[in-house]
């Protein structure tokens, strides 16, 4: 079935060109920061961050390896439950390594805080966070990203890796979901 984003998207919040420009700028910042550091481990938080890490990595000129971690706190909801589960863990040891967590969006902060605490227990040399999107007005825990692509309002967004019910990750932009789409479904639960 063909995606008809008109039925879902209220408006485009960040277009494809703006995303690409910002990702290149973030990569340049990371290239400067990690220029004299040892090998960098990119920890991509699945599934939402896969498009961000793929684009970002294309512009990195420092030695790096990619690792993947799958965590869940949303279940089938449009909001974080605060109950974070690690569904898939890293394959490599990160002790004494430069580690960069790559996140698609920071909302309440519960998920990323749990991931950060978990990874810090493994003894990395340094642990930093980069997020494509940040929703500071939704933050419920004290957590800050070292680098942020875009600060966005408290809207439910999809596209460029972010999903609604596991769909719409492949949209090349970040779009705001029509409130009527998810309010009707939330009321049925």
Residues with a catalytic annotation lie at 107
Question: 96 Cβ partners below 8 Å, 6+ apart?
Answer: 123, 124, 125
The CA distance from 166 to 164, in Å, is 5
The CA distance from 139 to 124, in Å, is 26
Q: CA nearest 27: which of 116, 102, 135?
A: 102
Question: 33 Cβ partners below 8 Å, 6+ apart?
Answer: none
Q: CA nearest 52: which of 127, 118, 117, 129?
A: 129
């Amino acid at each position: 079935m063909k995606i008809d984003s008109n039925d879902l998207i209220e408006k485009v919040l960040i277009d494809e060109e703006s995303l690409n420009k910002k990702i290149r700028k973030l990569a340049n910042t990371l290239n400067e920061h990690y220029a004299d550091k040892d090998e960098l481990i990119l920890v991509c938080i699945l599934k939402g961050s896969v498009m961000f890490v793929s684009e970002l990595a294309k512009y990195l000129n420092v030695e790096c390896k990619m690792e993947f971690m799958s965590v869940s706190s949303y279940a089938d909801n449009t909001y974080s439950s605060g109950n974070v589960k690690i569904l898939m863990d890293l394959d490599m040891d990160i002790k004494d390594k430069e580690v960069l967590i790559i996140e698609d969006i920071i909302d309440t902060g519960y998920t990323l805080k749990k991931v950060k605490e978990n990874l810090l227990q493994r003894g990395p040399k340094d642990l930093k966070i980069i997020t494509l999107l940040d929703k500071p007005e939704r933050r419920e825990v004290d957590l800050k990203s070292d680098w942020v692509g875009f600060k966005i309002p408290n809207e439910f967004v999809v596209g460029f890796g972010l999903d609604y019910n596991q769909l719409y990750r492949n949209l090349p932009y970040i779009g705001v979901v029509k409130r009527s789409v998810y309010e009707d479904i939330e009321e049925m639960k």
